[in-house]
Chains A and B, each alone.
Chain A
Amino acid sequence: MSRTCGRIGQYVLVLWVAGTLNFALPRLAPGDPVAYVYGGDAQALSERQLAALRETFGLDRSLAEQYAGFWTGLLRGDLGTSVQDSRPVVDVLAERLPWTVALVGTATALAFVLGSLLGAWAAWRRGSKRDAAVTSAVLAVDAMPGFWIAMVAVAVFAVQLGWFPSYGAVALDGQGLGAAGEVVSRMVLPVATLALAGIGGFFLLARAAMVGVLDEPFVRLARAKGLRESRVAVVHGLRTALLPVFTNLALAIGALLSGAVVVETVFAYPGLGSLIFEAVTVRDYPLLQGAFLLVTVGIVGANLLADLAYPLLDPRLRRVRAPRGTQLRQVVVRG
């Protein structure tokens, strides 16, 4: 318990540092919202009117006051009002979050499952022509930029074949099952693009880990016992090899909340990635702070969960409570 509390304390500290950085980063970039929102017309405003606008955006206060306001607002659950949308940041983020979770979450899950299975399969047949072919193909896809895959997908599957819509997440007037079907069909191309773009990492990790595991004595023992090849591969090999892949998955889940800027842009998908991109462009400080905070919480939370989950996945990392008066020791279980 004390170890868990210590970990949580570390993460609170990390969140504070990250929150401070979230506050500082948007302000380190040149410009402020008034400059962008009003563009050239900002120069048509009088000093009094500009001052009123700066007051509206809270830019008339000192940096220290803004920082204090940021934290007090945060503690109240108030992330401020978006400069661009004139709506509470929480509402804007809540509107976009489900789309990103659905899009990036589905794509990450697909990439994880396919990448891991393909990697394990390639490792099982390491050195064969099939291994070389699959590895080359995955590496080739991995080398392609996401936007390239996205645009080719649109050109082929939306424009030429007309199988899937090319943009957006939802029809404006959809209702019921039809609307759900519309959402799914609009998700196909961006999910496929993101999954393809992300499969390489999982594949390579799974393959490398599996290759290492397959030389372990416990795998040889499993074979020697006469177990089916598939059982040896999946139960004894893949399960053990998945730990580094799981670490990669935890990182991907953490980054999930930052969206997928390029793919969301190409598919005009209303996720957090495109929102953050627009917010950076207009220097929407409150929205940037809120979005960065969400991303930070996502990454820190995913790391915390990974930390806590490792011992469940790998018995070698479990600690056992020793009898009073003795020191804790790590129990190492092989195979």
Chain B
Amino acid sequence: MNRRLMPALLTCVLLAGCAVGSGAAAPGAGRGDGGQTGPAAAQRLTIALAKDSGPLNIFADQSPAIDELVYDKLLAPSPYVDQPRPWLATAVRQLDPSTWEADLRDDVRWQDGERFDADDVAFSFDYFKKAPTGTYTHHVSDVPTIETITALSPTKVRFVCAFPCPELGTVTLADLPVIAEHIWAGVPPDKAKQVTSLPVGTGPYRLVSYDSAAGYRFEANPDYFAGAPVVQELVMPVISDASATFPALRSGEVDATTRPLPPELIDPFTSSNDVGVVKTAPLRFPELRVNYDRAPFDQPAFRAALSRAIDRDQLVAVVGLGKGRAALQGYPHPDAPFANPTLSTPYEPEQAREMLDQLGLVDRDGDGTREGPAGPLAFTILANGAAPQDVRSAELIAEDLREVGLGATARGLDAGSVADVAKTRDFDLVIGAIGPHGAADPTQFIMSHRSGYLWRAPKLPYPEWDALFADWKATTTVEDRLAVLDQMQVLFNRQPTSIPLYYPDEYWAFRPDRFAGWVESPGYGVVHKWSLLPPQVGRDAGAVVAVGR
């Protein structure tokens, strides 16, 4: 069968399956506007998970929204809000530029009955330094570098950093989950990934069974320090394919899902009588990664021209079906707490042509493609062939580049090969996606310039960046750091190595007759612990925002 027809065929059947039986509700009749009505509590919910994360070993696989049903952090809800608030901690304070102290709650117990105290916190941060996870590692071992973590008393812990770390109180302590010393002390850090026993946390739900065939079952923790959850039991089967997930939701077999609605299903589901839909603003976006190691992408001016050549309005209209915003404010996500609101990355093809001309990259033989020192400028845009949106984005970008005289061809690869070329940097341009950790965490923005993702500092020369990084390290307050981060963002978007394509909206479908307490927590969608706790708890923690913004 023609490969191009396959996604269309699948979509048609999916639409047919999901639309079958849907009532003809009047538009705007309490659907999709955030004004969902229905039960605020439930005995049991069935929630389809988009991926199998194994027995929730956070050293082997991270699914923060699910992990945090079991685990808590010192601050809540995440680094993706302006000012995280005390959670396992009752207060955190910066004693000097490099030293922080946290006062801890004294009424918290682990789900196995053991008492939670400062030793657990000190152990957790120390363990994260020794057991690499990727996601959490840089928060303790690079930016910032936490040198010592000391339990001063059962309810007080001190963090000392190698250089000023004002963001500890807004980012780090709101990002790392706290694990139980009495569980993990017996596990050598290099064996942490191999642990398959069920997790024990302090969180509102305890994972009571996991089976790769049947999924997860959580029970509410009635003694949760913040209040008992409003849903007593969560059953979470793993349905890894969208074509199976949404018919199951439509038929009432599942009540919600961790998978947002694909754009083509938003309208049919929004007009359904049986299904509720809420809209959120996710802190994620598809991106075009540019290989800055390879000529001519190693030239800042060439990257600047590239950024101006891409029509993001077209991408959001065609690929995102209009459900989102064109990425005209660059990187990071404009809703990230540290995003510079003045950023601008417009579509200016005429200016792109002029910039390429100024670089001496002109079409000498009149074939429509510019030539460089090594011959015609023809590039390959790689994309995950199993993701139709990525492939379509690559095709549209290839057309945009041809408009300014750059040869470009879209090519699909399997997901494993895409990961490999990204790691080995064997690509010209590749379509990727960046989630909240990369798009909205300010320390990850720094780290991404040091890890090789956005740049490879300090190994790869970048004097302007190095100077800003030195300024950043020298600052001692959050405000000063944000000021330097503003400059870093301007510099980055002037000559980007990652070009955001569009900022999608996310729509989440659920069965309102079973439970309608879904709320948005920035970066987490709607399926997370704040939706499952009494509404006031999430509001008090500053963890939720109104859906349907």
Tell me the A residues contacting B by CB distance below 8 Å: 29-32, 34-46, 49, 52-53, 56, 81, 84-87, 92, 95-96, 99, 145, 147-148, 151-152, 154-156, 158-160, 162, 165-173, 265-268, 270, 274, 278, 280-283
Residue B240 at the A interface, CB < 8 A?
A: yes
Q: A30 and B422 in contact (CB under 8 A), knowing A40-B438, A95-B212, A151-B10?
A: no
Q: Are B235 and A268 in contact (CB under 8 A)?
A: no
B225 → chain A closest CB, angstroms? 28
A95 → chain B closest CB, angstroms? 6
Chain B residue numbers with a CB within 8 Å of A281 are 414-416
**What are 9 inter-chain pairs, A to B, with CB distance below 8 A?**
A40-B453, A56-B190, A96-B213, A152-B17, A159-B250, A167-B253, A172-B211, A173-B217, A281-B415
A291 → chain B closest CB, angstroms? 14
Q: A268 and B244 in contact (CB under 8 A), knowing A44-B451, A170-B213?
A: yes
Q: How many residues of B contact A (CB 8 A)?
A: 68
Q: Are B241 and A265 in contact (CB under 8 A)?
A: yes
Give which listed residue, B54, B217, B432, contacts A86 with CB less than 8 A: B54
Give which listed residue, B193, B196, B416, contacts A36 with CB less than 8 A: B416
Chain A residue numbers with a CB within 8 Å of B20 are 155-156, 159-160
List residues of B (404-436) whose CB comes within 8 Å of A's CBs.
414-417, 419-424, 432, 434
Q: Are A266 and B243 in contact (CB under 8 A)?
A: yes
Chain B residue numbers with a CB within 8 Å of A30 are 416-417, 420-421
A81 to B253, CA, bound (A): 34
Q: Are A268 and B239 in contact (CB under 8 A)?
A: yes
A246 to B522, CA, bound (A): 59
By secondary structure, the B interface counts as mixed
Instruction: Indicate the member of B60, B213, B252, B424 with the most A CB atoms within 10 Å.
Output: B213
Residue B368 at the A interface, CB < 8 A?
A: no
Q: Are B447 and A44 in contact (CB under 8 A)?
A: yes
Give 1 or 0 for each of B242-257: 1 = CB within 8 Å of chain A CB: 0111011011110000
Residue B215 at the A interface, CB < 8 A?
A: yes
A4 to B9, CA, bound (A): 50
20 more CB-based (< 8 A) A-B contacts, given A86-B193, A152-B17, A172-B217: A29-B417, A30-B421, A35-B423, A38-B134, A43-B452, A46-B141, A95-B212, A95-B213, A155-B13, A155-B247, A159-B17, A159-B20, A159-B250, A159-B251, A172-B211, A173-B209, A265-B241, A280-B414, A280-B416, A281-B414
A169 to B214, CA, bound (A): 7
By secondary structure, the A interface counts as helix
Q: Are B13 and A170 in contact (CB under 8 A)?
A: no
Residue of A nearest to B432 (CB): A40
Chain B residue numbers with a CB within 8 Å of A278 are 240
Q: Are A86 and B196 in contact (CB under 8 A)?
A: yes
Q: Are B251 and A158 in contact (CB under 8 A)?
A: yes
B241 → chain A closest CB, angstroms? 5
A269 to B488, CA, bound (A): 48
A280 to B48, CA, bound (A): 23
Chain A residue numbers with a CB within 8 Å of B420 are 30-32, 35-36
List residues of B (12-62) whose CB comes within 8 Å of A's CBs.
13-14, 16-18, 20-21, 48, 54, 57, 60-61
Instruction: Indicate the member of B414, B419, B451 with the most A CB atoms within 10 Å.
Output: B419
Q: Are A53 and B132 in contact (CB under 8 A)?
A: yes
Give which listed residue, B1, B253, B421, B452, contacts A145 with CB less than 8 A: B1
Residue B137 at the A interface, CB < 8 A?
A: yes
Q: Are A85 and B54 in contact (CB under 8 A)?
A: yes
Chain B residue numbers with a CB within 8 Å of A92 are 212
Which 10 pairs, one residue from A and one from B, show the smallest C-beta to C-beta distance? A41-B134, A31-B420, A155-B17, A270-B213, A43-B451, A49-B132, A151-B13, A172-B214, A30-B420, A268-B239
Residue B273 at the A interface, CB < 8 A?
A: no
Chain A residue numbers with a CB within 8 Å of B481 are none
B69 → chain A closest CB, angstroms? 16
Residue B84 at the A interface, CB < 8 A?
A: no
Residue B237 at the A interface, CB < 8 A?
A: yes
Instruction: Indicate the member of A46, A156, A158, A274 with the most B CB atoms within 10 Å.
Output: A158
Q: Are B244 and A165 in contact (CB under 8 A)?
A: no
Chain A residue numbers with a CB within 8 Å of B158 are none
Chain A residue numbers with a CB within 8 Å of B414 are 280-281
Q: Are B239 and A167 in contact (CB under 8 A)?
A: yes
Instruction: Indicate the member of A41, A87, A265 with the most B CB atoms within 10 Å.
Output: A41
Q: Are A166 and B235 in contact (CB under 8 A)?
A: no
A154 to B133, CA, bound (A): 39
Chain B residue numbers with a CB within 8 Å of A31 are 416-417, 419-420, 423
A282 to B382, CA, bound (A): 18
Give 1 or 0 for each of B136-151: 1 = CB within 8 Å of chain A CB: 0110011000000000
Give which listed residue, A32, A166, A168, A173, contacts B247 with CB less than 8 A: A166
B222 → chain A closest CB, angstroms? 19
Q: Are B253 and A166 in contact (CB under 8 A)?
A: yes
